[in-house]
Chain A
């Protein structure tokens, strides 16, 4: 079972070019119905039908969780990626019909927090926009520290400062660099939770700094923005289904399994949630473990794989599916 089994038909109601690399897409229900309520930090999976290829990418909802009339996401164009973001940028126009999954939240605010400290890098800003709206409604203090490469790539920086005032601090690499993490994390009231979403280096820096300063692990929250990497095509045998499938260079193993009609669990499609963990029956070759889920021992054992992001190179890979 997965959220993407029960897709919602939507129409693209608006496409906005935010800057040279980011576009915002807004969706309404095809029938004008209300869309499901959600909580800040939730994502949807967008199904893209690109000729014979079906891609499914996860994007954080940035619209208000209290707005049921429409959803909004922002997509950063990645020319080296599998083509999902390129498809969104080049092919998707207002008026187009698409399908999306119901919202899933793997990056929720901890509602016990006395204060939310949010740290965003680049396109990682999107879940925080919904969370700030939620925190404002709940009356819980928050502050956002938002770092981008340059002012020209810093999506929504101005509008967030207008909306949330001095609760928002902005940083640009070409104008002095990012926040002073040690200073920031050393001086927070008891009961503060920290949330980070952005590039891998930023997540690691925040988690390590907070841990080093004695923050409890339960107060540190992060969301990796991981797209399935591209690679060479490879073949896989699905033992229970008794079939061989081929994974294309720009396709994920998960997408190839789905395309074969074989049932497989999944949620985040980005190597973080653990739902698609699959047993390896036999492996003659090397698995490129690209996930954040398996530990080093599990990886070395070659007995598990996360099909949403991981790939294979070698003679034969057989999965328990």
Chain B
């Protein structure tokens, strides 16, 4: 199946949209009618053809446009891509994982030829055709993490493992939900999660860290996380808060269906072989409320989840200003019918 890549923007005129065929494959994050934190981790193995869980690194109709948006962010702010000096081996692990996975899963789009250390990589959608020596960064135009990070959807953090903890020592982060690599770099697992409410008391992070420290090679895991974003903007970084913070004041009952987007992160966790680090891809999917409610099950459930959301979470996720308006708007799609278990549309 050849993907028709959309020509669209995530800023200024915001032409981003999901084509009708793309809507049902959205990773709707609520398996039940209520939401509370859980570590909700499951094996990241191929699940459900046509879903975003079918392949190791999902490629969809937004791929080319997202990579253009990443290039714009990096041109304005090179600090969005940083790697501490000891993370170069991990960068090469990342190159190998993405290239091998994409060439295997999308042979019509990506080709990889390996001859010892000599690698030849063709990325057709981005019109890249490069040869390089694996492990020799001087044969790439930039750090290996940046090189491959510019060719794969989603932000990518790389966590060094030492002293019984994980350290955020490298990342290429241009599509984040209000956190800063520049602020967090070098922090350990508890330090960078410190702002999250409620979860510490529940012991969520202790359990999550124990799980991640023992993550085996070849057995990746995944979980979904979510928030809401006004306008389909990928770059909602603290650095650019003045550009997107005021968007929240523009929501009205008339435009809420097109303005407010459900923002879902498909987070996966991979043990990297040569560096013993963990690759943490954070792949963002955006869908306007008008698009979400085309699936009746999702409309009903989203109303119930939003209506009953804990106040701490409304505040933490930055929804306070328009939350009551959204619950009211969503109520028209909730007829009270039972919803089926799981996240997939009926």
Contacts and interface: CB of A to CB of B under 8 A. Distances in A.
Nearest to A274: B210
A36 B218 contact: yes
Interface residues of B, number: 22
Nearest to A101: B216
B228 to A, nearest CB: 33
A265 B217 CA distance: 15
A295 B313 CA distance: 37
Interface residues of A, number: 28
B265 interface: no
A2 B216 contact: yes
Nearest to A277: B210
A6 interface: yes
A5 B160 CA distance: 25
Given A138-B89, A218-B162, A218-B163, A108 B218 contact: no
Given A108-B161, A267-B214, A273-B214, A1 B274 contact: no
Interface string B105-137: 000000000000000000000000000000000
Given A1-B219, A108-B161, A275-B214, A65 B275 contact: no
A264 B274 CA distance: 27
A102 B276 contact: no
Interface string B154-180: 000000111100000000000000000
A34 to B, nearest CB: 10
Contacts, number: 60
A104 B275 contact: no
- Interface of chain A: mostly helix, strand, loop or mixed: loop
Contacts of A270: none
Contacts of A39: 273-276
Contacts of A274: 210
B55 to A, nearest CB: 19
Interface in B88-105: 89, 93, 96
Interface string B169-197: 00000000000000000000000000000
Contact of B274 (A5, A37, A218, A273): A37
A13 interface: no
Contacts of B163: 217-218
B243 interface: no
Given A6-B219, A37-B273, A38-B273, 12 more contacts: A1-B219, A3-B216, A36-B273, A37-B274, A39-B274, A39-B275, A65-B274, A111-B86, A111-B87, A111-B89, A112-B85, A138-B89
Interface of A: 1-3, 5-6, 36-39, 42, 65, 101-105, 108, 110-112, 138, 217-218, 265, 267, 273-275
- The 7 A-B residue pairs with the shortest CB-CB distance, nearest first, are A37-B273, A111-B86, A3-B216, A108-B276, A102-B217, A112-B86, A105-B276
